[in-house]
Structure 1
C-alpha cells in the first residue's frame, strides 16, 4: 500500500511540476509575444482558469507528501520526503504571499480597466513563478530520489 501511495504522490506532484513548468517556459512566452490586448486577456484568462485549479493541486500534493512521510517514517528515504514536504510548504507560502495577490488582480483586468503598470505586475508574477517552479522541481526530484 505504501508503494502505491509513493507512486501516486510522485505522479501527482510531477504533473503539477509539468503544468507549472509549461506555464513558465511555454505559455507565458507565447502570451507575452501577442499584441498588448490579446496578451493581457490571455494572462487574465489563464489566471482565472489555473487560479481555480492550482490551489487544490498544491495543497493536495502537500497533503499526499505529508501522508507519505508519516506512513513511511521508518523506511529509507523519509528524510528526502520530509524535505520535499518542506519545499512544498515553501511553495504554498510563496503562492499565498507573492503570486496570488497579483493573480487576483490580473484575472479581473480587461483592456478597458487594466492599470498602467499591468505589464510590470505580470512580469513580477512571472519572476516569482520561476522561483516557485525551481522549488517544486526540487521537491519532485527529492520524491523521485526517495523512491530509489
Structure 2
C-alpha cells in the first residue's frame, strides 16, 4: 500500500503541480515552491524509506516468486530515495534560501532540472508499486 502512496503522490505532482509551477513567473514559482515544500520534506522520506524497509522485510519472509519481486520493489524504492536525496532535495534547499521578490540577476531557473529528477523518481516509484502488487498477488 505504501509504495502505491509514494507512486500516487509523485504522479500527482508530475501531472498537476509540476506544470503549474512551470507556468508561473519566477518569483511566484519560488514562493509557491517554498510553501509546497514545508510538508512534503518531512513526510515523504519517511514513507519512501518505510516502504523500502517493508519490502526488504517481506523479501525475507516471502517464498517463491514473490521474494525477488519484493527485493526489486525495495531496490526501486531505494532508488527513489537516492534520486530525491541527491537530485531534488539540493534544488529544494537552494530554492528555500531565495527571497522570492529579490531574485538575483544571475538566478538560474531550477524547474527544468528539478522536473527531470522528479519524473525519474516518479517512474521508479510507479515500477515499485507494480512490482509490489505482483509480489503480493503471487
Q: State whether residues 27 and 103 of structure 2, in contact with CA within 8 Å, keep that contact through their aligned partners in structure 1.
A: no
Q: State whether residues 20 and 133 of structure 1, in contact with CA within 8 Å, keep that contact through their aligned partners in structure 2.
A: yes
**After TM superposition, what 4+ stretches of structure 1 lie above 6 angstroms from structure 2?**
none
RMSD: 1.7
Q: State whether residues 44 and 108 of structure 1, in contact with CA within 8 Å, keep that contact through their aligned partners in structure 2.
A: no
Q: State whether residues 47 and 106 of structure 1, in contact with CA within 8 Å, keep that contact through their aligned partners in structure 2.
A: no
What's the counterpart of residue 86 of structure 2?
97
Q: Which range moves more in the overlay, 40-49 or 82-91?
A: 40-49
CA drift of 1:118 comes to 4.1
2:42 to 43, 47, 52: 52
Give the TM-score, by structure 1 length: 0.82
Q: CA 1:113–1:49 in structure 2 vs 1: closer, same or farther (change >3 Å)?
A: farther
1:136 to 101, 116, 125: 125
Q: Count the aligned residue pairs.
A: 136
**Whole-angstrom CA distance in 2 between matches of 1:108 and 1:58:** 25
What's the counterpart of residue 42 of structure 1?
32
Q: State whether residues 44 and 109 of structure 1, in contact with CA within 8 Å, keep that contact through their aligned partners in structure 2.
A: no
Q: How does 1:12-23 map to 2 (within 5 A)?
A: 12-23=2-13
Q: State whether residues 27 and 101 of structure 2, in contact with CA within 8 Å, keep that contact through their aligned partners in structure 1.
A: no
2:56 corresponds to 1:66: yes
Question: Any stretches of 5+ residues in structure 2 without a counterpart?
Answer: none
CA drift of 1:113 comes to 4.2
**Whole-angstrom CA distance in 1 between matches of 2:68 and 2:18:** 35
Deviations 1:112-135 (A, max 9, x none): 34443342x122111111011101
**Whole-angstrom CA distance in 1 between matches of 2:130 and 2:36:** 27
